[in-house]
Structure 1
Amino acid sequence: MENYKTFHSPQTINYGRNAFGEVGREAKARGKKAIIVSDKVMNDLEYVSECRDNLLKEGVDSVTYLGVDSEPTDIYVDEALTLFNEENCEIVISLGGGSCIDTAKSIAVLATNDGYIGDYMGMKKMAEVKPIPHIAIPTTAGTGSEVTDAVVIANTTTDVKMMIKQPSFLPEVAIVDPLLTLSSPKQVTAATGIDALSHAVEAYISKRSHPMTDDMALSAMKLIVENITIAYEDGDNLDARENMSLGAMQAGLAFSNASVCLVHGLSRPIGALFHVPHGFSNAMLLPAVLEFSKDYAIKRLADLGRIFIPAAENYSDEQAADVAVASVKSLCLKLNIPNLNGWGIDKTEFESVVSKMSKDALASGSPANNPRVPEQYEMEELYRVCFDYDFSTERTIK
């Protein structure tokens, strides 16, 4: 029986203020022409032009794909891959949130391996040829995708969010510059911050956690809990932004190696069918899932409770776990996280696909990592609870 654990990370991580300036040097070492995968917002903020300028200073030519809009789809992957091939690019650079990064990860793999991106779901097909070098540059403190070997791509034919996880999808270089997150609006800061917290928490309570991921997850939870409200209320506070960027990256490293659990399993179908951005759907689900899981993860959630309230050091583990659940609810309330109803999802339409969403969530494999593994009927009930969830209640889900 194997008793060792494996920990994967990018070959190089450039982290800190002004790290963005390293993109030219990193690209020069890997090729002469890059495709920059980004979106209209990043272009309007002139981050794309700054990236191209940094590349030109090092003699690296570039083309841009700005078609990513909200959640990544197989259409974006096909369009960007076509441009990559037509322009004879040698490097992929992603600049933006998790959608841009996941799209770029897919291009890096498909540029050297054949087939449709969905072929790689569930490891039905393995990427056997080394991918194109990918430099990932996040502009939000949330997904941690810059340091993970997983992508989530929507199949526009079946309305399924395809969870794909293989070592080849791991970026070669991550450039994490907190200055790039200063442009994030309040609600994006809130949702991506809770998304990062859910990554850290799920990595910590996952059945596949191990000492390396535990250390990363604990550090990430502390950084996020202590800084998310500050970053939300004062978006120009660079210290808070820096700590959130570090926390999100550590959470990404943790969950990439320990896997996520029930929150992410439930979240992906909501994004696929109702086009709710991943960070928001995770945030909507986290408190209810923690209530559902609490009795099966008392000790681990107690650690989270003591991060939120240091005085809980004197509480029993069960009391401290209650603090964790209550604190996450309170945080979501403070950050104005909506429930599914508040997002504007039609209840009748939602009810009509609850069974499909539950089946798709189970098929993703993530719920099996949860401390309490739900049956399909329990997942259906969780969806219904989350639709009208009240973050201010003391109600416990059993």
Structure 2
Amino acid sequence: MGKFSVFRTPETIIYGQHAFNEAAKETFLRGKNALIISDHIMESLGYVGQIRNNLNKTGVESVAYLGVKTEPTDVYVEEALNLLKHENCDVVISLGGGSCIDTAKAVAVVAANGGYIGDYMGGKTWANHKAVPHIAIPTTAGTGSEATDAAIITNTENNVKMMIKQPAFMPDVAIVDPLLTISSPKSVTAATGVDALSHAIEAYISRRAHPMTDKLALSAMELIVGNLRAAYEDGKNLVAREAMSLGAMQAGMAFSNASVCLVHGMSRPIGALFHVPHGFSNAMLLPAVLAFSKSNCIDRLADLGRYFVREAETLSNEEAAEIAVTSVKKLCLDLSIPNLKGWGIERQQFENAINKMAEDALASGSPQNNPRIPSKDEIKELYRTCYNYNFALDNVNNK
């Protein structure tokens, strides 16, 4: 009997310019008292006020939790959950980047199933009850969290990023409006864009990839490779912004169903211990990890190389795969991605943490999906390579 695959997505996806205007109607269909999980940046830009006004017009009451200041933690989850209970909210709206969306996922699940969010890590506790309805509205083109059944929440007691994946964490509705991403500064556009690219690449090379995820991953890679530089150089380029929003969502659907690999496994401990935002830590690792993995996924990396350089259609898979690695490296250079040293991490502190980071990376399970499965010692050496990694290249002129 053949191997079967599973594919999960939100029940409703609305995307394109002005999709944000549909949020109130979708909320009204699912509840009458909304908890909006967002941050003060979204409030200052007027998006929180706009959605609250739209909700009010449809007869939906709302209250906002704006405490998300960093990547999501169990503290944010508890604070927002307490507000939801106090205000008797029956629907959750997340508005912001992946931190707001992941916080909302956790709140929606725990509100319906009880316990501490960490209980759900590794399936120790299973969410048997349907989560509180959740409408996810991303304002960056990066995490794809609006279309995944996973959340990454930091345990503030032991500084471990908890990777939690269960069907109940999938939002009911994803509303993807590229107009909301125009406010993203260049550094955020760069980091979230490379994050989305890493999702697409890892979904494609994952040992758990299947035909449904392959199609989405390939489409996402093509969209992101073709538009990330344009979105970075001109944040008001709506053609590029729309392509990036669609690509990021497709990459999210792909990796949610195929799983991520070594980049993400190594990235989470860096974020937990040194507070490097997820998009940046993925970007810092991606070129070196692809070089490490290349020998075991040459044919698949060749497809990526041909998106970067169309002339690679006539080259061998080995040559096209090498172009993929060097092109990702060049992309990170052009987007001003720093290495770990450049981020400001002190060398001895980093060295002291390497053993724990390698253990935590392996414990996450993601490295085991990698085409080339690393040992603990190989992960430690990759961390050392990435600390002072040089993105500068000779003889690479493709853009």
In structure 2, what is the Cα distance between the partners aligned to 1:322 and 1:194?
A: 18
In structure 1, what is the Cα distance between the partners aligned to 2:190 and 2:39?
A: 21
In structure 1, what is the Cα distance between the partners aligned to 2:165 and 2:394?
A: 37
Q: Once the 2 structures are TM-superposed, how far is the Cα of residue 284 of structure 1 from its aligned partner?
A: 0.6
Report Cα offsets for 1:32-83 as digits up to 9, x if no partner. Answer: 1000000011111111001101111111000000000121000000000000
Report Cα offsets for 1:280-304 as digits up to 9, x if no partner. Answer: 1001110010000000100000000
Q: Secondary structure at the match of 1:56?
A: helix
Equivalence for 2:146: 146
In structure 2, what is the Cα distance between the partners aligned to 1:364 and 1:66?
A: 29
In structure 2, what is the Cα distance between the partners aligned to 1:239 and 1:60?
A: 33
Matches within 5 A, 1:31-46: 31-46=31-46
Question: Alpha carbon RMSD of aligned pairs, Å?
Answer: 0.9
Equivalence for 2:305: 305
In structure 2, what is the Cα distance between the partners aligned to 1:248 and 1:357?
A: 27
Equivalence for 2:188: 188
Paired residue type of 2:197: L
TM-score (norm 2): 0.98
The alignment of Structure 1 onto Structure 2 pairs a total of residues equal to: 395
Q: Secondary structure at the match of 1:187?
A: helix
Equivalence for 2:3: 3
In structure 2, what is the Cα distance between the partners aligned to 1:149 and 1:238?
A: 28
CA spacing shift, 1:48–1:362, aligned 2, 3 Å: same
Q: Percent identity?
A: 67
Paired residue type of 1:110: V
Q: Secondary structure at the match of 1:183?
A: coil
Q: Once the 2 structures are TM-superposed, how far is the Cα of residue 182 of structure 1 from its aligned partner?
A: 0.2
Report Cα offsets for 1:134-193 as digits up to 9, x if no partner. Answer: 000000000000000000000000000000000000000000000000000001000000
- Please state if 1:211 is matched with 2:211: yes
In structure 2, what is the Cα distance between the partners aligned to 1:137 and 1:153?
A: 19
In structure 1, what is the Cα distance between the partners aligned to 2:216 and 2:57?
A: 36
In structure 2, what is the Cα distance between the partners aligned to 1:388 and 1:160?
A: 24
Report Cα offsets for 1:105-145 as digits up to 9, x if no partner. Answer: 00000001011101110111100011100000000000000
Equivalence for 1:323: 323
Q: Secondary structure at the match of 2:52?
A: helix
In structure 2, what is the Cα distance between the partners aligned to 1:54 and 1:267?
A: 38
In structure 2, what is the Cα distance between the partners aligned to 1:31 and 1:256?
A: 27
Matches within 5 A, 1:144-293: 144-293=144-293
Q: Once the 2 structures are TM-superposed, how far is the Cα of residue 4 of structure 1 from its aligned partner?
A: 1.8
Paired residue type of 2:189: T
Equivalence for 1:89: 89
| Contact 1:206-1:369 at 8 Å conserved across structures | yes
Matches within 5 A, 1:7-86: 7-86=7-86
In structure 1, what is the Cα distance between the partners aligned to 2:353 and 2:326?
A: 30
Paired residue type of 1:175: I
Equivalence for 2:349: 349
Gaps of 5+ in 2: none
Paired residue type of 2:194: I
Q: Once the 2 structures are TM-superposed, how far is the Cα of residue 310 of structure 1 from its aligned partner?
A: 0.8
Q: Once the 2 structures are TM-superposed, how far is the Cα of residue 393 of structure 1 from its aligned partner?
A: 4.3
Q: Once the 2 structures are TM-superposed, how far is the Cα of residue 6 of structure 1 from its aligned partner?
A: 1.2
| Contact 1:326-1:394 at 8 Å conserved across structures | no
Paired residue type of 1:13: I
In structure 2, what is the Cα distance between the partners aligned to 1:182 and 1:92?
A: 24
Report Cα offsets for 1:219-242 as digits up to 9, x if no partner. Answer: 000000000000000000011000
Paired residue type of 2:110: L
In structure 2, what is the Cα distance between the partners aligned to 1:152 and 1:2?
A: 32
In structure 2, what is the Cα distance between the partners aligned to 1:266 and 1:280?
A: 12
Equivalence for 2:133: 133
Equivalence for 1:339: 339
In structure 1, what is the Cα distance between the partners aligned to 2:367 and 2:79?
A: 32
Report Cα offsets for 1:290-335 as digits up to 9, x if no partner. Answer: 0000001000000000010011011000000000000000000000
Gaps of 5+ in 1: none
In structure 2, what is the Cα distance between the partners aligned to 1:148 and 1:120?
A: 16
**After TM superposition, which residue ranges in structure 1, 4 or more long, deviate above 6 angstroms?**
none
In structure 1, what is the Cα distance between the partners aligned to 2:109 and 2:6?
A: 22
In structure 2, what is the Cα distance between the partners aligned to 1:125 and 1:296?
A: 35
Report Cα offsets for 1:328-385 as digits up to 9, x if no partner. Answer: 0000000000000000011111110100000000000000000000000000000000
Q: Once the 2 structures are TM-superposed, how far is the Cα of residue 394 of structure 1 from its aligned partner?
A: 6.7
| Contact 2:330-2:393 at 8 Å conserved across structures | no
